[in-house]
Structure 1
Amino acid sequence: MTLSSAVVMTAAGSPDVLQERIVEIPAPAPGQVLLKVNAAGFNPIDTKIRAGIAPVVPNEGVLGCDVCGEVIALGDGVTTFSSGDRVFGFVGGVKGKWGSLSEYMLADVSLLAKAPESLSDAQCAVLPLVTITAAEALRRLSPEIGSELLVLGASGAVGRMAVQIARSMGVNVTGTAGSAERCADVSALGAAAIQHDDVDARVAAGQSFARVLDTFGGPSLQRALVAAAVGGQVATINARGVHELGMAHSKALSLHAVFVMIPLLTGSGHERHQAITQELAQKMASGEWQPLPVEEFELSAAAVAEVHRRYEAGQLPHKAVFVRR
C-alpha cells in the first residue's frame, strides 16, 4: 500500500467539492504499474464527472484521465516496462480506475506507452485522450487519400490532433476556428482554415463535404449535418442533448458518436488505445506531429478548482495541465 496526497471530489457538485486528501493506493495488481505522477492533464469530462452529469466517479474520487509519470513498481507479469521508465497515457479518472490528480496512481500497462523524450511532462500529459478521440473519429469516418474532410473546431485540442492525423493520412482538410489568430494556427498544421460562420456561406453557395468531424456538439453538430453531402458521414465527440435529425434522414447520412471512455469502463479495447498512444509518441518524437499549447498549473485542489471554473466560464483557451512543483 502507498499513501498518496491527491485532489478528490468529496461529493458531486461545484468546484468547491474538490479537496486535498491522503488516499491509500494498493500495490499494483497483475498487469498494472504504480506511477509517480509528474503531470496530470485536464479534460472537460472531469467537470462533468465532478458535477454529477457523468456518474462514473473514479476510485476514491480522484479525477484525472491523462498522465505522464515514472514507473515506480510493477505488478506480477509486467514485462513491457521497467522501474524508472517515463510513460504516458489515457489511463483513468473514471469508475473502476484511479485518477491522475494524485502524487501516485495505479495504471494498466495496456493503456500506457513510453513518453517521447522530446516533449516535457506537461506536453505529454495533455495529449492521450484528445489524440485517441481524434483517431477514433477518423477511424469511423475512414477518409481516403486525397479525400476532403471538414473539421469543425480545428483549433481546439481534438481538432488540432485530428488535422494532424488526417494530414498524415494524405487527407485534404478544411478546418474552422473562431478568430483570425486561431485560423493561422490551423493553417500552420496544414489545413485550409476558415472561420466558423464561413461554413454556412459555403454551404449556401453549394459546397458540401463527404466527411465532417464535429468537435463541439450542440449547434455545431447541427452545422455539421447541414454541411455534409448527400450520403456523407458525420462524426461528433458530443452527441448529448436534443438534436433535429431531419437533415440526417433527408440526406441519408451516417452519424458516428465517439465516446472513448468505453474501453476504460468495460475493459475491452485497451489495445487500440495503446496502439494510438504508441503512434502518438513516435510521431511527436519524429517531429511529424506538433504538441499542443498548454497552460501549467500547480497540482493542488485550489488550482484544479480554478481550472474547472475557468473552463465552465469559457475562459480556458489552451489545454490545462497540473504539474508537481
Structure 2
Amino acid sequence: MAVFTPIELGEIAPWISQEFTIGEAADIRGIHGGIENSNFFLDTIKDGKKQEYVLTIFERLSAEQLPYYLELMRHLANKGIPVPKPIENKHGEILFSIKGKPAAIVSKLPGLSRMQPEVKHCALVGEMLAKMHLAGKDFPKSQENLRSLGWWQQTIPLVLPHLNTAQKDLLTHELSAQEAFFSSRDYDMLPQGASHCDLFRDNVLFDPKGSSDTSNDQLGGFFDFYFAGTDKWLFDLAVTVNDWCLAENKQDLDPARFDALMQAYQTVRPLTKEEQASWPLMVRAAALRFWVSRLWDFYLPRDAQMLTPHDPTHFERILLSRRTL
C-alpha cells in the first residue's frame, strides 16, 4: 500500500458524517508499503467508542472493475472467511468517489503481520487459503486475473531494455515456457475460481491474543484483495508458497514451512492429479508474475508519497531456484 492521492481529516470528515452510519471521523493516517493504491487507516467515534477502518482510493483499477473485488470480499466475509468487509453508505453502496477516483471503506482486521513466519503460521495460512477457495466456489461474478499471461506479454517488452543479457534470456525463455503451459490441455483441466493472487506475508494478519508468545497466534485474516481474479487455484497456492515458505537464503523453499502449508491446504482441499503434475511450471509462473511486476514498478515508477519500490532481483532469484525443481 502507498499514498498517491493525499487526503486530510478535514476533507473526509464531513463526507463520513453525511454519507455513513459509522460515526464521526476522528483520524486518518496514510499507510506505508505496497505500490498500487492510496490507503489510509480511518478511525471514527461512534457512541463514545473508537472504530477502525481502512479507506482505499484506487489509482489503477476502474469503477467497472472494482465491484468484483468488493463483492468478493463481502461474499467471503458472509461465508465466515476472515477478510475485510466493505462498508455500505446510507444508500447501500460500497463503491464511492473521492477526488474523482473510485474509493471504498472496509473493516479493519485484528492482528499484525508475521514477516518471519514459523511453521505454525504457514499451516494456518494454507488451511485458510483452501477454505477461502471453497467458499468462493459459488461466487457469481467472474473477472480474469489482470496480472496474468496477457499482462506479462504486454509488459515484458517494456522492461527488456533495462536488463542485462542474462536477464533478458531468462525472461524471454520463461515467458515462452509459460505460453506453452497456459495453452496446454493440462492447464485447462486445473480447477479454478476466485483467487487472492497476492497472498504475501504482509497481506495476512495474526492475532496474538494479547501475548508476546507467537505460539498463541491465531489467524486474524487475509486482506488487500485488489489483485484478486478468477484464476487457477494452483496459481494462488504457488504465489503463497513462493513468499511464505522461503528458506534462509530467501530464494529456495524451506522444507518444513513448505510441507506445513501444503499439508494444511490439502487437508481441506486435496490437489488433483493434474494439479500435482502442473506444480513445477505453476510455481515458476508465480515467480515470473512478480518478477515482471517488480521490474515494471522499478524501472517505470509512478510518483507517490511513502512509496518504496521492491527489489526486482528477489523474484529473479526465486525464478532461477524454481526452474531447478
* TM-score tier (shorter): under 0.3
TM-score by length of 1: 0.25
Q: If each structure's strand is expressed as a fraction of its own residues, which one has the higher value?
A: 1
Q: If each structure's helix is expressed as a fraction of its own residues, which one has the higher value?
A: 2
